[in-house]
Chain A
Amino acid sequence: MTYPVAAKADDMRSRFNLPLSMSVIRPVVSIGAPLLLWEAAVRLGWIDAFLFPAPSAIAATMWRQTWPDGDLLLHAGRSLYRLLAGMALAIVIGTAVGIAIGMTRWGRAIFKPIISAFMPVPTLAWTPILLLAIGIDDRTTIVVVFIAASFEVIYNIVSGVEMMSRKVFWVARSMGASPSQIFWKVILPGVTPYLITGAKLGTGYAWRALIAAEMLAASSYGLGFMIYDASEYMTMEVIYGGIALIAVLGYFIENVLLGRIEAATVEKWGIQVER
């Protein structure tokens, strides 16, 4: 017995095999061309070299700040640590709360009003309280990341749970599944695509909140602190370098780190997440 099988798997594979040359050339052109223009404009004296230092000068400064006598890597590493720790918290707690809201009446009753009320509050508004409560410390910035990211995680998990058909649970229960098996083998994998979407969106918010919080609340280290500190000394190259690094790390986290996870789950399963 043979049946026509959708050729979807092949389609998907070919998307990953997008010619490497193209996936490299496009961003190089779209980012490289304006940089070249900028460099030329500075060298030709068209724009102010203090306000807009040449990309080559920024790169040179960044290099010096990296090696042998700079702290650039320490700043970046500290920011990444805070971001990842806060994201991990947001993912674990946000998933638990989201499932509680989606699956249980008490979860909805307890969490939904709180979340609706506090979602519009900018994360940064919490920072003074956190500073007083926790102090100038990694924990303050980690909590800021957690707050910034968890709303998106929760909202996406809730819609993921609501999208699950009750028949999925019926099938599991007619297999004799226990409540814990339903949680681990049905609900968690079922909401994974939504968790990834929530984590992606949440990381964007978290990254922005983190940099701002580091400007307010970090005593030393962190890219936000580095930029803020550089503005005191008016070292523009460091400010631009920090901005570039934030962009690169943000891209790396969203597209490479989360992109890999997405490719290994949602894309491999062939699931589309509606949002």
Chain B
Amino acid sequence: MAPAASTARPKIVASDIGMAFGSVTAIENVSCSIGEREFVSIIGPSGCGKSTFLYLIAGFEKATSGQIAIDGRAIAGPGPDRGIVFQEFVLFPWRTVLRNVTLGLEMQKVPLDEAVEKARKWIRMTGLSGFEDAYPSTLSGGMKQRVAIARALTYEPGILLLDEPFGALDVQTKNYVIRDLQDLWVEAKKTIVMVTHSVREAVLMADRVLVFGARPSRIVADVRIDLPHPRDAADPMLKAYQDQVTSVLSAEVDKSMSVERAR
């Protein structure tokens, strides 16, 4: 299926991406264009290479074929123009909440007092006020994920990459973080690419949902969610979109299960 025309200037353009680990082809022939300030969700059967695709955008891994360009320039490696948030938070346990959040600016040699000032803004916006001097080991999962989000936003990347960001959170906490992240997105005006395995999250949050197929993975559907933000989880239109995405996804999950079984 051809990608839906993006209304905004293209920010991330992937052309004919292929990725193999040894003899296993994770993804092949993936092409897509993600617009400036667009919120795109990537969904697919587990093991389909959707996280791999995110790591390619991040520059952590190198594609076997094809290339990804950001603002027209091919990606050479990781960089501060792309912030990353992992399911496992990946905080630095020896640093307080505040110093975790300032680290990105410290790496860019921003004077510490300036870094602290910027960090405090994002600590406030992610609801972490009062926890500046706490060490990550004392925080709950939801709080840790807020620190990870604040940390990625503080050095002001144009693109925010989220790798199953709610996977490790309980349902209650997840709903809070999702709501806050939606507010933040409206505020921060970032291009966001989020990998998730939840259709509900994908449809609720994103402007566009890319459905990755069974391995070797390619984009099997590109669904535009034409609803204004912020969205109400109870909106019946959301349900319709969810059903649409679920039907494509189920077919792919069936395919990947039968491949597993055949092995």
Contacts and interface: CB of A to CB of B under 8 A. Distances in A.
A251 B82 CA distance: 50
A174 B90 contact: no
Nearest to A266: B94
A248 interface: no
Interface stretch (A34-42, A130-138, A182-190, A194-202): A182-190
B138 A189 contact: no
Contacts of B135: 9, 268-270
B140 A189 contact: no
A1 B93 contact: no
Interface string A155-198: 00000000001011011111111100100011001101000000
Contacts of B104: 175-176
Contacts of A177: 107
B103 A175 contact: yes
B94 A270 contact: no
Interface residues of A, number: 30
A192 B94 contact: yes
A197 to B, nearest CB: 15
A6 B139 contact: yes
Nearest to B137: A270
A1 B141 CA distance: 15
Contact of B60 (A170, A265, A270): A170
A92 B142 CA distance: 38
A170 B55 CA distance: 9
A275 to B, nearest CB: 17
Interface in B172-222: 173, 176, 180
B118 to A, nearest CB: 13
Interface string B81-122: 011101010101111000000011011100000000000000
A269 to B, nearest CB: 5
Nearest to A2: B127
Contacts of B92: 168, 186, 189-190
B167 interface: no
Contacts of B138: 5-6, 8-9, 270
A271 interface: yes
Interface string A187-219: 001101000000000000000000000000000
A230 B60 CA distance: 65
Contacts of A185: 103, 106-107
A4 B137 CA distance: 13
A192 B93 CA distance: 11
A161 B106 CA distance: 23
A33 to B, nearest CB: 39
Contacts of B107: 172, 175-178, 181, 185
Interface of A: 1, 3-6, 8-9, 165, 167-168, 170-178, 181, 185-186, 189-190, 192, 265, 268-271
Interface of B: 55, 58-60, 77-80, 82-84, 86, 88, 90, 92-95, 103-104, 106-108, 127, 131, 134-140, 142-143, 155, 173, 176, 180
6 contacts: A8-B138, A174-B60, A174-B79, A176-B107, A269-B94, A271-B94
Given A171-B86, A185-B103, 11 more contacts: A3-B173, A168-B92, A170-B55, A174-B83, A175-B107, A176-B155, A185-B107, A189-B92, A269-B135, A269-B137, A271-B137
